[in-house]
Chain A
Amino acid sequence: MNLDHNAGGRVRPEVIDAVTDWLREDAANPSSVHAAGRRAREAVEAARDAVAALVEARPGQVVFTSGGTEANNLAIRGVVEAGAHVVSSTIEHASVLRPLEAVRVRGCQVTLLEPARDGSIAPARVASALRDETRLVTIGWANGEIGTVQPIEEIAAAVRERACGAVLHSDAVQAAGACAIDLGRVPLDLVSLSGHKIGALPGIGALIVRRDVAVTAQMLGGPHERDLRAGTENVPGIVSFGVAARLARVERASSQDHLRRVRARVLHVLEAAAPLVVHGAPEGLPGTLSVAFPGLRADALVIALDLEGVAAATGPACAAGAAEPSHVLRAIGCADDVVRATLRLSFGADLSFDDAERAARAVVACVARARGRRGAGVGHAA
């Protein structure tokens, strides 16, 4: 039972079918002139249409990348030149914060806004951080750890009103498929997307680039992707992204409805494991539930749950096997012991109501075990 959907969900069966069909029958380089090459080009462009449609953008604005991380790097390093000022927040993903740190070291000024206790960034705070030399504003659409959805439309309006010429970027990796993203209405310049978060293959993402925004390519080579991202297209990845995007767009309303009910049910079951603290805003991502069990170690709960067949997490996946304490939870004011006690449960639409309930009961059982036996050993003087 996967309660770690935000780290990446299962590849959708429709996606697997489409990709294997393409690999078996049409695999070719889309830059080739011959028939197979032209069919590959058609597949790429059909996928581009679908990804554009997911966020109500135009196909020509879609630049395929290797994933959300590369899209964020391209948006930041491709826009900010030395001496510029950037506005962002302390709860961004590492693939935003690390490039910001890199441009800061190279002489840029970076203002990182502190979120409110629920993780939200007030548009007025963004507006008051703007300067004449502000070149980029980058605020994530939704936070993958605590699920908070930012008032991105109001933030965009505030930036536009100031008319300082700042480029507006949003990392929408966690929002795509979960939130209605309408770039016809919200005037963002750059938007990062990731395929595997919506059921495509890992290794594919996109940066939506509005035509009149100057972005400098970071990967240099051939003239692929409008000269913004060199390298032969990852056609299987792109095909998978197209199929997943098409499905995500069609199913968004129903899957959000399902996820809201799943989340409410999980939260209801978890109340048996009180005391607990739910982080983030109640109207956040419907598939994300960040919950602390004070006094416990969430990493031990994650292991215990895994041994019972339930996948959960303490935060973003980490190569070391033990994640660093979440910078997001610290940024919203959680003390170290609350950070350590926080479990991130995240659901995909493929998680059935019954499985979610069973998984939540497993969480309750593990919490009870951890609480019941805590300190049961022989005590000792300090």
Chain B
Amino acid sequence: MRPDDVAARVREAAGAAGEEALVRPEHIAPGARVVAAMSGGVDSAVAAALLRGAGLEVIGVSMRLGSAGARADGHTGCCSLDDFEDARRTASRIGIPHYVVDLRDVFQRSVIDTFTATYLAGRTPNPCTLCNRDVKFDALWQVATTMHAVAIGTGHYARIGGSAASGFTLRAGRDPGKDQSYFLFTLGQAELARTLFPVGGLAKPVVRAIAAALELPVAAKPESQDICFVAGRSYADFVAEQGGAAAALPGRLVDRAGNVLGTHAGVHRFTVGQRRGVGGGASEPRYVTSIDATSGDVTVGPRSDLAVAGFVARDVRWTGRPHRGAARVRLRHRQAPVACDVEPGEDGARVRFAEPTGGVTPGQAAVWYDGDRVLGGGWIDERLVAGEGA
């Protein structure tokens, strides 16, 4: 399809929203070469089409991140040959070239090894954020610069606003049910300037309608769920497989007073806040309240033990200037952000909640918002319990 055919069908299917999605940002020149990251799913397919409709020279690229081909255990995450074929057929339909790049080495090092090591350290990893930071917006960007591209477009539900002069902003996607801004907090000004999220201003049903209007082969493809590389397996099994002998260390279940309540098969099987597998006949529900990978102790307690006064975040990134003071913080994907106070320091940030709050899970990302605007984020390191310097 020619760019104007693509644009006409987008307008017909999505009206004003489609018109808006076709607008090229000011800092990207007409006809500039951009890489569209294509997973084989519908969001990235429509993103690529919108970039083409906006008059850019679009090069479709699929990243090979895991083992290709269907696996014996029925794994249906991304990166199968079928997904590449879907991406290729989509690219052919909208009239852009399509390539596959092998980034398995970066993915293994940055995402899978970290995922395993984090669980084995008694923490709960956030692989999607790491994949965005190290694979899509770093390794793939290096591929894109080799190709002389000026930006990367993806199918993420988030919005980039502003300009080079005023500074770029990162905002939540317009569809609250699809918003992925939580996973994108590591994008700073340099990354935001070279990144395009064409579907970020659209609702998912509109994206599907555009895909149908363009007769894309993936228009009716189901959503991918779960973490792509463990799909179909339990996280614990995956970590045990990857981590080898280190993963198999058993430990004790203890309460806050240090009483031994039982044993467990390895700290990687637990997440702070988890209820399953630690109840064992107690009168009131018990939750994992902390994990000590060194001793192997998993501490459990009543729900009231989960609420903390705040936490320290490490490896903090800001989308623009560092923020000090009142903000709202999101502690997991799609959770409603809660009020807090942020105090950036030299090696991280101290965050105090307005009210004691649960769900503070070491290893997870904490992302600060001002309304729907992402201020920045960091990795939850230690929890600040009331009365311990908080």
Binding site for B on A (CB under 8 A): 296-297, 299-301, 303-304, 306-307, 320-323, 325, 336-337, 340, 366, 369-370, 373-378, 380-381
With A304-B147, A376-B145 already in contact, the answer to whether A321 and B84 are too (CB < 8 A) is yes
Indicate whether A322 sits within 8 Å of B138 (C-beta atoms), given known contacts A297-B146, A304-B147, A377-B190. no
Q: A300-B143, A340-B105, A369-B146 are known contacts. Are A378 and B188 too (CB-CB below 8 A)?
A: yes
Q: Confirm or deny: B191 has a beta carbon within 8 angstroms of a beta carbon on chain A.
A: yes
B377 smallest CB distance to A (angstroms)? 12
CB-contact partner of B191 in A304, A307, A377, under 8 A: A377
Question: Which one of A322, A366, A376 contacts B102 once the chains associate, using CB atoms below 8 Å?
Answer: A322
Q: A304-B147, A322-B101 are in contact. Are A380 and B317 (CB under 8 A)?
A: yes
Of all chain A residues, which has the CB nearest B63? Answer: A322
Q: Complex Cα distance A317/B372, Å?
A: 47
Contact partners of B99 in chain A: CB under 8 A? 303, 306, 321
Task: Determine if B148 and A340 form an interchain contact, defined as CB atoms under 8 angstroms apart.
Answer: no
Within 8 Å by CB of B101, from A299, A374, A381, lies A299
Q: Which residues on the A side are within 8 Å of B64 (C-beta)? A: 320, 322
Given contacts A321-B84, A378-B190, contact A300 B142 (CB under 8 A): yes
Q: How far is the CA of A304 from the CA of B144 in the complex (A)?
A: 9
Question: Per a CB cutoff under 8 Å, which of A301, A320, A340, A370 touches B81?
Answer: A320
| Interface pairs A-B: 9 shortest CB-CB | A373-B145, A322-B100, A321-B100, A370-B146, A300-B143, A300-B146, A378-B190, A304-B147, A303-B99
Specify the chain A residue showing the minimal Cβ separation from B143.
A300
Chain A's nearest CB lies how many Å from the CB of B188?
Answer: 5
Inter-chain contact B105/A366, CB cutoff 8 Å: no
Contact status B145-A320, CB under 8 Å: no
Enumerate chain A residues within 8 angstroms of B146, measured Cβ to Cβ. Answer: 296-297, 300-301, 303-304, 366, 369-370, 373
**Does B291 reach chain A (CB closer than 8 Å)?**
no
Instruction: Tell me whether B138 and A297 are in contact (CB under 8 A).
Output: no
Bound together, the chains give a CA A138 to CA B140 distance in angstroms of 41
A298 CA / B304 CA spacing, docked (Å): 55
Known: A321-B99, A370-B142, A370-B145. A378 touches B315 (CB 8 A): no
Shortest Cβ distance from B74 into chain A, in angstroms?
20
Question: Taking the complex as formed, is B141 at the interface, i.e. its CB lies under 8 A from any CB of chain A?
Answer: yes
B59–A381 CB distance below 8 A: no
Contact (A380, B102) CB under 8 Å given A297-B142, A304-B147, A320-B84? no
Give the contact-size bracket for chain B.
20 to 34
B68 CB within 8 Å of chain A? yes
Given contacts A321-B99, A380-B317, A381-B315, contact A369 B81 (CB under 8 A): no
Q: A307-B59, A307-B147, A373-B145 are in contact. List 10 more A-B contacts (CB 8 A).
A: A297-B102, A299-B100, A300-B101, A320-B81, A321-B62, A321-B98, A366-B146, A370-B142, A370-B145, A378-B188
Which chain B residues lie closer than 8 Å to A323 at the CB level?
A: 102
- Chain A residues lying within 8 Å of B145, measured Cβ to Cβ, are 369-370, 373-374, 376
Measured CB to CB, the nearest residue on chain A to B144 is A300
Which B residues from 317 to 373 make CB contacts under 8 A with A? 317
* A-B CB contact pairs (8 Å), 23 listed: A297-B143, A299-B100, A300-B143, A300-B146, A303-B59, A303-B99, A303-B101, A320-B64, A320-B68, A320-B81, A320-B84, A321-B99, A322-B68, A322-B84, A336-B105, A366-B146, A373-B145, A375-B142, A377-B138, A377-B141, A380-B133, A380-B134, A381-B315
B186 CB–A CB distance under 8 Å: yes
What residues of chain B lie closer than 8 Å to A321, measured between beta carbons?
62, 84, 88, 98-100
- Chain A residues whose C-beta falls within 8 Å of the C-beta of B147 in the assembled complex: 300, 303-304, 307
User: Complex formed: what's the CA distance from A337 to B188 in Å?
Assistant: 29
Residues of A close to B190: CB separation below 8 A: 377-378
Could you say which residues of chain A place their CB within 8 Å of the CB of B97?
A: 306-307
Bound Cα distance A381, B347 (Å)? 11
B148's partner among A299, A307, A336, A375 (CB-CB below 8 A) is A307
Q: Which residue of B is nearest A376, CB measured?
A: B145
Known contacts A297-B142, A300-B143, A378-B188: A320-B100 contact under CB 8 Å = yes
- Give the shortest distance, in Å, between A187 (CB) and chain B (any CB): 43
Residue of A nearest to B114 (CB): A382
Q: How far is the CB of B308 from chain A (nearest CB, A)?
A: 25
Q: Looking across the interface, which residue of chain A has its beta carbon closest to that of B315?
A: A381
B residues less than 8 Å from A340 (CB atoms): 102, 105
Give CA–CA (A135, B148) in the complex, Å. Answer: 54
**Among the interface residues B100, B102, B105, B317, which one has the most CB atoms of the partner chain A within 10 A?**
B102
Cα of A373 to Cα of B101 in the assembled complex, Å: 18
B101, A297: Cβ atoms closer than 8 Å: yes
- Residues on A with beta carbons closer than 8 Å to the beta carbon of B81: 320
| Interface-centre pick from A300, A336, A377 (highest chain B CB count, 10 A) | A300
Tell me the smallest distance from the CB of A281 to a CB of chain B, in Å: 28
Q: Could you say which residues of chain B place their CB within 8 Å of the CB of A374?
A: 142, 145
Instruction: List the B residue with the shortest CB-CB distance to A370.
Output: B146
CA distance A337 to B108 in the complex (A): 14
A379 to B142, CA, bound (A): 13
Q: Which residues of B contact A337 (CB under 8 A)?
A: 105
Distance in Å from the Cβ of B36 to the closest Cβ of chain A?
13
Which residue of chain B has its CB nearest to the CB of A381?
A: B315
Quick one: closest A residue to B138, CB to CB? A377
Which residues of A sit under 8 angstroms from B191, Cβ to Cβ? 377-378
B91-113 vs A, Cβ < 8 Å mask (1 yes, 0 no): 00000011111100100000000
- Shortest CB-to-CB span from B258 to chain A, Å, is 35
Q: How far is the CA of A321 from the CA of B85 in the complex (A)?
A: 10
In this complex, which of B33, B98, B137, B142 has the most chain A Cβ atoms within 10 angstroms of its Cβ? B142
Within 8 A of A (CB), among B194-232: none
| Chain B residue contacts of A381, Cβ below 8 A | 315
B40-66 to A contact mask, C-beta < 8 Å, 1/0:
000000000000000000010110100
Q: How far is the CA of A380 from the CA of B133 in the complex (A)?
A: 9
Q: Complex Cα distance A363/B146, Å? A: 11
> Which B residues touch A369, using CB under 8 A?
145-146, 148
1/0 per residue B110-137: CB within 8 Å of A? 0000000000000000000000011001
CB neighbours of A378 from chain B (8 A): 188-191
Q: Which residues of A contact B101 (CB under 8 A)?
A: 297, 299-300, 303, 322
* Residues in A neighbouring B133, C-beta threshold 8 A: 380
Q: Which residue of chain B is the closest to A369 with respect to CB atoms?
A: B146
Docked CA distance A325–B104 (Å): 11
| Nearest A residue to B33, CB-CB | A307
A255→B250 CA distance, assembly (Å): 69
Given A320-B68, A380-B133 in contact, is the A373-B100 Cβ separation under 8 Å?
no
